[in-house]
Amino acid sequence: MNILVTGGAGYIGSHTCKELFRAGFQPIVFDNLSRGHSRAVKWGPLIQGDLSDRELIERCLRENQVEAVLHFAAFAYVGESVSDPGLYYRNNTGGTLNLLQAMKTVGVRRLVFSSTCATYGTPVFLPITENHPQQPINPYGQSKLMSERMILDFGPAHGLQSMILRYFNAAGADPEGELVEDHEPETHLIPLAIRAALEGTALRIFGTDYDTPDGSCIRDYIHVSDLARAHVLALQRLLDGGASGIHNLGTGKGHSVLEVAAAVEKVTGKRLRQEISPRREGDPAVLIADSIRARSELGWTPTHDDLEEIIRTALRKPG
Ligand code: UFG
């Protein structure tokens, strides 16, 4: 069964292609390669294209007799979204609208969408459930929330069945070493901490004056292969005729930046030089998921939820 995977050359998309293939699906990657890598497309064909090209999306859906779409393609740098919001609304929100219109035209009615805890904004209670208010504090979160709303509107209007998956902090890489985390520039804590430990450079700690036990920010780090498996479960549920749904994906456990730094030292066996820096703008003190719904409705259980294990899988360098 052919599944179109937009953004399948990216970090989470490529890991999901591996899981799809393993579960007996045929991923067909649609990616403009602006931030993804063709070397990460290993489990099916790559169609190099942009979501602004609606005709091309329609042709891909039709010619490959696509049964469902997994939609990852998006820009995901919070800072960049603040300095260039138009880029995010055009690529993320506009791209999603084009995809939805193309799916409607061709009659593809199943969609799994890559959303984010950034749609919640600053938490008003913890852990964050799917019913938490959605008040994004940056254009990246807004662009994803607007996409969610469009997807939900296409349900009753056009019969679209959808699964919206809101990830917390995606981390780690394929435990079998076939894929790596490969962002340019890299902004995420775990790869930067590993790089600093191995190269002997300093890791900046953005704020140690938060209202948390050690003063640094707390995040819920979820292994990318666990995210990938959740997508396959969500897809299977849609294909089995299950109702549309919205699910948080996290472990429910929080780790502070200083705990991550200590775990990186332990896993690499190297001392990590730390440079205490001012807070990074827009960082909430604590983000922790309540993922009970994904566990009960999708039958999903994160299997790599040990921080040191996550870091161990992230050690391999981009090739
Ligand atoms: N951090 C540092 N030093 C660094 C990098 C990060 O101290 O060099 C800290 C951050 O301030 C934050 C934590 O490490 O407290 C995690 O930061 P990341 O950049 O790894 O991840 P974020 O929590 O900022 O971002 C993630 C996703 C985004 C998403 C966001 C939602 O990567 O796509 O969660 O809040 F928008």
The DSSP line for 67-80 is -EEEE------HHH
In the structure encoding, which two tokens stand for residue 223, read together? 């292994």
Question: Which residue bears the tokens 């719904």?
Answer: 293
Using a cut of 0.75, tell me whether the model's pTM lies above it.
yes
**Identified catalytic residue from 11, 88, 120, 140:** 140
User: What is the CA 239 to chain-centroid distance, rounded?
Assistant: 22
- Listed by start position, the domains of the chain span 2-168+222-249, 189-219+252-315
Active site residue 89: no
The CA-based diameter of the chain, rounded to the nearest angstrom, is 57
Ligand 1: lining residues by beta carbon, under 6 Å: 76, 78, 116-118, 140, 169, 187-189, 192, 203-206, 217, 219, 257, 280, 283, 287
pLDDT of residue 305: 86
pLDDT of residue 318: 61
Which of 78, 140, 166, 222 has most ligand 1 atoms within 8 Å of CB, for mutation?
Answer: 78
Cα of 254 from ligand 1 centre, angstroms = 13
The residue nearest atom 24 of ligand 1, judged by CA position, is 283
pLDDT of residue 37: 97
Q: What class, spelled out in words, does domain 2-168+222-249 have in CATH?
A: alpha beta
Low-confidence residues of the chain, pLDDT below 70?
A: 318-319
Q: Which residues pair with 25 in a beta bridge?
A: none
In this structure, which topology does domain 189-219+252-315 adopt according to CATH?
UDP-galactose 4-epimerase; domain 1 (3.90.25)
